[in-house]
A and B are shown apart, each in its own frame.
Chain A
Amino acid sequence: MDSLRQSPSPCSSRPSSPRTPPCEMPASVGIEAVLDQLKIKAMKMGFEFNVMVVGQSGLGKSTMVNTLFKSKVWKSTLPGLGVPTPQTLQLHSVTHVIEEKGLKLKLTVTDTPGFGDQINNDKCWEPILSYINEQYEQYLQEEILITRQRHIPDTRVHCCVYFVPPTGHCLRPLDIEFLQRLCRTVNVVPVIARADSLTIEEREAFRSRIQKDLKSHCIDVYPQKRFDEDANDRILNSKIRERIPFAVVGADQEHLVNGRCVLGRKTNWGIIEVENMAHCEFPLLRDLLIRSHLQDLKDITHNIHYENYRVVRLNESHQLPRGPGWVNLAPMNLAHASAGQLTSPRTSKACKQAQEEPKYDF
Chain B
Amino acid sequence: MSKQQPAQFINPETPGYVGFANLPNQVHRKSVKKGFEFTLMVVGESGLGKSTLINSLFLTDLYPERIIPGAAEKIERTVQIEASTVEIEERGVKLRLTVVDTPGYGDAINCRDCFKTIISYIDEQFERYLHDESGLNRRHIIDNRVHCCFYFISPFGHGLKPLDVAFMKAIHNKVNIVPVIAKADTLTLKERERLKKRILDEIEEHNIKIYHLPDAESDEDEDFKEQTRLLKASIPFSVVGSNQLIEAKGKKVRGRLYPWGVVEVENPEHNDFLKLRTMLITHMQDLQEVTQDLHYENFRSERLKRGGRKVENEDMNKDQILLEKEAELRRMQEMIARMQAQMQLQMQGGDGDSGALGHHV
- What residues of chain A have their CB less than 8 Å away from a CB belonging to chain B? 56-60, 78-80, 83, 85, 117-122, 165-177, 193-194, 196-197, 199-200, 209, 212-213, 216-217, 265-273, 278-279
- A169 CB contacts on chain B under 8 angstroms: 46-47, 68
Interface 0/1 of B263-290, CB less than 8 Å to A: 1100001100000000000000000000
The residue that A122 contacts in the complex, of B109, B256, B257, with Cβ under 8 A, is: B109
Interface size on B, residues (CB 8 A): 46
Q: Which of the candidate stretches B86-94, B141-149, B185-193, B306-314 sits at the interface with the other chain?
A: B185-193
For B185, give its contact among A165, A197, A216, A266 (CB under 8 Å).
Answer: A197
Once the chains bind, are A268 and B68 in contact (CB under 8 Å)?
no
Which residues in A have their C-beta under 8 angstroms from that of B154?
A: 58, 165
B325 at the interface (CB under 8 A from A): no
Interface residues of B in 101-141 (CB under 8 A from A): 107-112
Indicate if the CB atoms of A80 and B74 lie closer than 8 Å.
no
A302 to B132 Cα, complex, angstroms? 71
By secondary structure, the B interface counts as loop
Kindly list the 8 A-B residue pairs having the minimum CB-CB distance in the complex, ordered from nearest.
A167-B47, A270-B261, A270-B260, A269-B261, A80-B158, A58-B157, A197-B186, A58-B156
Which residues of chain B have C-beta atoms less than 8 A from A121's C-beta?
109-111
Q: Is the CB of B71 within 8 A of A119?
A: no
Q: Which of A167, A174, A196, A216 has the most CB of B within 10 A?
A: A167
Q: How far is the CA of A171 from the CA of B46 in the complex (A)?
A: 11
Q: Is the beta-carbon distance between A170 and B70 smaller than 8 angstroms?
A: yes
Q: Which of B161-212 contact A (CB under 8 A)?
A: 161-163, 166, 183, 185-186, 188-189, 194-195, 198
Chain A residues with CB under 8 Å of B110's CB are 119-122
Not counting A173-B74, A279-B260, a sample of 20 additional A-B residue pairs whose C-beta atoms are within 8 angstroms of each other reads: A85-B162, A119-B111, A120-B111, A122-B110, A167-B45, A170-B68, A170-B74, A172-B107, A173-B71, A173-B107, A196-B185, A199-B258, A216-B70, A216-B72, A266-B188, A267-B261, A268-B269, A269-B270, A271-B260, A272-B260
What's the dominant secondary structure at chain A's contact region?
A: loop
Q: Nearest Cβ distance between residue B19 and chain A, in whole angstroms? A: 53
Among B75, B155, B157, B260, chain A packs the most CB atoms within 10 A around the CB of B260
Chain B residue, CB-CB nearest to A251: B188
Q: Give me 18 A-to-B residue pairs in the complex whose CB atoms sit less than 8 angstroms apart, sorted by A's number.
A: A58-B156, A80-B195, A119-B110, A120-B110, A121-B109, A121-B111, A166-B47, A172-B74, A173-B74, A173-B75, A175-B71, A197-B183, A213-B71, A216-B72, A269-B258, A269-B260, A269-B264, A270-B258
Among A57, A173, A174, A268, contact of B158 (Cβ-Cβ < 8 Å): A57
Assess A119 versus B162: contact at CB under 8 Å? Given A199-B258, A269-B261.
yes
A176 touches B158 (CB 8 A): no
Query: Which positions in B face A, CB cutoff 8 Å?
Result: 45-48, 68-72, 74-75, 107-112, 154-159, 161-163, 166, 183, 185-186, 188-189, 194-195, 198, 256-264, 269-270
A210 to chain B: closest residue by CB: B71
Q: Give complex CA distance A2, B107 in Å.
A: 100
Please tell me if the beta carbons of A58 and B158 are within 8 angstroms of each other in the complex: yes
Question: Is A56 a contact partner of B74 (Cβ separation < 8 A)?
Answer: no
Question: Would A265 and B156 count as touching, CB distance under 8 A?
Answer: no
**Which of chain B's residues have a CB closer than 8 A to the CB of A177?**
109
Give Cα A170–Cα B156 distance, bound, in whole angstroms.
17
* Cross-chain contact B48 with A279 (CB below 8 angstroms): no
Nearest neighbor of A174 in chain B, beta-carbon distance: B109
> Are A118 and B162 neighbours in the complex by a CB distance under 8 Å?
yes
B166/A213 in contact, CB under 8 A:
no
Residues on the A chain within 8 Å of B261, using CB: 267, 269-270
| B71, B158, B162, B198: most-surrounded residue (chain A CB, <10 A) | B71
Residues on A with beta carbons closer than 8 Å to the beta carbon of B111: 119-121
CA distance A212 to B297 in the complex (A): 50
Give the distance in Å from the alpha carbon of A169 to the alpha carbon of B74 in the complex: 11
Contacts of B188 in A (CB 8 A): 265-267
Contacts of A171 in B (CB 8 A): 71
Q: Which residues of A contact B269 (CB under 8 A)?
A: 268
Known contacts A80-B158, A80-B159, A213-B71: does B109 contact A173 (CB below 8 Å)? yes
List B contacts of A278 (CB < 8 A): 259
Of A117, A122, A196, A272, which one neighbours B161 at CB under 8 angstroms? A117
CB distance from A250 to the nearest CB of B (A): 12
A residues in contact with B162, CB < 8 Å: 85, 117-119
Contacts of B45 in A (CB 8 A): 167
The CA-CA distance from A121 to B47 in the complex, in Å, is 19
- In the complex, A357 Cα to B122 Cα: how many Å? 54
Given A117-B161, A121-B109, A174-B109, CB of A196 within 8 Å of CB of B258 = yes
Tell whether A172 pairs with B195 under 8 Å between CB atoms, given A119-B166, A120-B110.
no
Across-interface contacts of B166 in A (CB, < 8 A): 119
- In the bound complex, how far is the Cα of B257 from the Cα of A284, in angstroms? 23
On whether the beta carbons of B185 and A80 are closer than 8 Å, the reply is no
Q: Are B156 and A176 in contact (CB under 8 A)?
A: no
A-side contacts of B264, CB under 8 Å:
269
**What's the minimum C-beta distance from A21 to chain B, rounded to whole angstroms?**
62
Closest to B256 in A: A199
- Of B155, B161, B195, most buried by chain A (CB within 10 Å of CB) is B161
